[in-house]
């Protein structure tokens, strides 16, 4: 009967609003850095119920758990969260595990529409840790050299930039005259820097910086030396080895001719 009257009033008096609980939020996608506090805004825009029931739920990886239920904080939120201004949720000392969807639910039994809910998507950003950098110590001219930089703590995922002697290496070698003679590929997503054919000018101190929206971290500089191959020395070494093998072969042949191995065999048979 009450529903019929409500629809009748709405039809006869279009300007008359039905009394229904309605929620809103000042920010449905808050972003905060780890260990800071954050307010998840849930505001009752309209209701006639004097004491509506408030609940907060957390939805992460497909699982739903209570944050605020039966007028009490639940789980680990009991020591680091509170209700503000009747319905909003304040989380203190946020961690990366707090990144999730939070649902504010309000039940107002005296209203025509008795239940409303609103979802808040919380993102907790985490600064990168010091990246692990791998730089070869020495590479011969003309060879390939691979440098690696990675860290897995930052959120959102880090991007990477490489520096040589404290100067940034551009992804495009043509954009900086100092690196025009270099032939390399820099992947800012994986942190890999590959020199396809190193030359003497690539010698230097290399470092990498991992960056995301929460901050950055840098690894220590590491020296990479590019050296010339000593072709003469290599050829000389090969000739020495060949000469030694020739001398050994000649020595064995001479021993056979002089009957050394035959005499040794006869002595053994006696």
* In the chain, % of residues over pLDDT 70: 80
> What percent of the chain shows pLDDT beyond 90?
71
Supply 156's token pair.
Answer: 């959102």
Residues linked to residue 101 through DSSP beta bridges, in sequence order: 59, 121
* pLDDT score of 214: 96
Q: Using one digit for the tens of pLDDT, what is the confidence trace for 134-152? A: 999 999 999 999 999 999 9
Query: Residues 6 or more apart from 183 whose CB is under 8 A from it?
Result: 173, 195, 196, 197
Superfamily of domain 132-227: Immunoglobulins (2.60.40.10)
Handedness of CA 98, 103, 108, 109 (dihedral sign): negative
User: How far lies 29's CA from each of 38, 50, 121, 231, in Å?
Assistant: 11, 29, 5, 64
What is the spatial distance between Cα 187 and Cα 150, in angstroms, rounded to a whole number? Answer: 11
**Ordered DSSP codes for 87-134:** TEEEE-S--GGG-EEEEEEEE-TTSSB-EEEEEEEEEEEBPPPPPEEE
Which of residues 179 and 239 earns the better pLDDT score? 239
Mean pLDDT of 94-121: 96
Task: Determine whether domain 18-125 maps to CATH 2.60.40.10.
Answer: yes
The average pLDDT across 29-48 equals 96
In this chain, the answer to whether the domains covering 18-125 and 132-227 adopt an identical fold is: yes
Q: Where are the domains of the chain?
A: 18-125, 132-227
Question: Which residues are registered as beta bridge partners of 207?
Answer: 163
Strand pairing class (72-73; 38-40): unpaired
Q: What are phi and psi of 138, to 5 degrees?
A: -145, 135
72 vs 267, which has greater pLDDT? 72
* Predicted pLDDT at 243: 72
Query: What pLDDT does residue 129 have?
Result: 97
Q: Is the pLDDT of residue 8 over 50?
A: no
pLDDT at res. 87: 96
Looking at residue 133, its pLDDT comes to: 98
Reduced to 3 DSSP states, what percent helix, strand and coil does the chain have, rounded to the nearest 5? 25, 40, 35
**The pLDDT value given to residue 146:** 98
Per-residue buried b or exposed e for 124-154, using 16+ beta carbons within 10 Å of the residue's own CB: bbbbbeebebebbeebeeeeebebbbbbebb
């Amino acid at each position: 009967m009450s529903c019929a009257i409500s629809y009748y009033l709405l039809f006869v008096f279009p300007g008359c609003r039905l009394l229904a609980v309605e929620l809103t939020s000042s920010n449905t996608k808050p972003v905060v850095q780890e260990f800071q506090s954050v307010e998840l805004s849930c505001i009752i825009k309209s209701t006639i119920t004097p004491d509506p029931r408030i609940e907060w739920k957390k939805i992460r990886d497909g699982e739903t758990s209570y944050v605020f239920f039966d007028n009490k904080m639940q789980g680990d939120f009991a020591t680091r969260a509170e209700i503000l201004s009747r319905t909003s949720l304040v989380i203190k000392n946020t961690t990366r595990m707090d990144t999730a969807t939070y649902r504010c639910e309000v039940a107002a039994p005296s209203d025509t529409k008795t239940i409303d809910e609103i979802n808040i998507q919380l993102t907790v950003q985490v600064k990168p840790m010091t990246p692990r950098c791998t730089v070869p110590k020495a590479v011969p001219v003309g060879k390939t050299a691979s440098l690696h930089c990675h860290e897995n703590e930052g959120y959102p995922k880090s991007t990477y930039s490489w520096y040589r002697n404290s100067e940034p290496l551009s992804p495009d070698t043509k954009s900086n005259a100092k690196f025009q003679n270099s032939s390399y590929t820099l992947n800012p997503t994986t942190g890999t820097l590959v020199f396809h054919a190193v030359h003497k000018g690539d010698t230097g101190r290399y470092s990498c910086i991992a960056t995301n929206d929460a901050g950055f971290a840098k690894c220590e500089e590491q020296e990479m030396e590019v050296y010339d191959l000593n072709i003469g020395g290599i050829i000389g070494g090969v000739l020495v080895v060949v000469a030694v093998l020739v001398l050994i072969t000649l020595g064995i042949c001479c021993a056979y001719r002089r009957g050394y191995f035959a005499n040794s065999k006869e002595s053994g048979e006696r």
